Amino acid sequence: MRLLERMRKEWFMIGIVLAIAGAKLEPSIGVNGGPLKPEITVSYIAVATIFFNSGLSLKTEELTSALVHIKLHLFIQIFTLAFFPATIWLFLQLLSITPINEWLLKGLQTVGCMPPPVSSAVILTKAVGGNEAAAIFNSAFGSFLGIVITPLLLLLFLGSSSSVPFTSIFSQLFMTVVVPLIIGQIVRRYIKDWLERKKPPFGAVSSSVLLMIIYTTFCDTFSNPNIDLDTFSLILILFMIFSIQLSFMLLTFLFSTRNNSGFTPADTVAIIFCSTHKSLTLDTVQL
């Protein structure tokens, strides 16, 4: 009974392991163009579901108060779009003299230049009781900023000119983030009493959608026949990513919990997940 209780409590972590294992066993199911059609079900339906879900669960006052929390927004956007890529660049200057595969280092810099994640930061913030409204705003706003800033960062740090299909990415973000959030808020006004009485499992729904995103992401990874990396470089880069992630999370925690920071514990949660995680929303960037 204890084991079942523990498994029920940790179902999301177990789900991540199963999603990755399933992707490894049969990656063709979740690749682009495969039976699951992630280019539609994930890129549009899954993300829209997450933000519609947030629109339903959040009080309008929480969203409006989050919009005017300028200090928090500045902290997150400056950290993720300035401090993060600059620090990665300095770190990679040291690693450039090592035998690590050059393209892995360039890939790490490219990821460092990306905006905050659209969906995972919102889900993780909500799951641990953080400021979900702030996470929603910064995920959406950062993604829109990334359309312009990411190509500039890639030019600055990699010396590579790049182009972004501005119109298509902007419209995709608008239709999958802003519109579902607004619709969710409108629907909430009509079923508010029912929602407060029944308390639907919004967190579980969003977490389930995130598992689907994780599964299809790893399906794409495992189905790539062009991955030809030496074991040393691969293991080392994985260790570095893990170390960088933990270091940045600790750094944002220390900065946002200072006595004069002006941030609440809920704000700190949103800051940690939005500032230190990166999105592949701009995976259509062409170098």
**How do residues 73-84 score in pLDDT, each as one tens digit?**
999 999 999 999
Domain harbouring 231, CATH code: 1.20.1530.20
For residue 281, pLDDT over 60 is answered with no
Q: Give the residue among 56, 85, 180, 73 at the shortest CA–CA distance from 135.
A: 73
Mean pLDDT of 217-229: 74
Element (H, E) at 281: none
For residue 164, pLDDT over 80 is answered with no
pLDDT reported for residue 257: 94
Lookup: tokens for 255: 């900065």
For residue 63, pLDDT over 80 is answered with yes
pLDDT reported for residue 229: 60
Mean pLDDT of 263-272: 94
pLDDT reported for residue 285: 41
Q: How much is the pTM?
A: 0.84
Render pLDDT for 66-121 as a digit per residue (tens, 0 to 9).
888 999 999 999 999 999 999 999 988 888 887 777 778 888 888 888 888 878 88
Q: How many CB atoms lie within 10 A of CB 234?
A: 14
Render pLDDT for 35-46 as a digit per residue (tens, 0 to 9).
889 888 888 898
pLDDT reported for residue 26: 87
Mean pLDDT of 254-273: 92
Q: Give the residue among 151, 164, 80 at the shortest CA–CA distance from 110.
A: 151
Q: How many domains does the chain have?
A: 1
DSSP assignment of 19-84 equals: HHHHHHH-GGGTSTTSTT-HHHIIIIIIHHHHHHHHHHHS-HHHHHHHHT-HHHHHHHHHIIIIIH
pLDDT reported for residue 161: 61
pLDDT reported for residue 223: 83
pLDDT reported for residue 284: 44
Whose tokens are 């902007």? That residue is 170
Average pLDDT, rounded, for the chain: 85
pLDDT reported for residue 186: 93
List the domain range (segments joined by +) for residue 126.
1-285
Where does the pLDDT of residue 159 fall: very low under 50, low under 70, confident under 90, or very high at 90 and above? confident
CA dihedral sign of residues 167, 161, 276, 245: positive
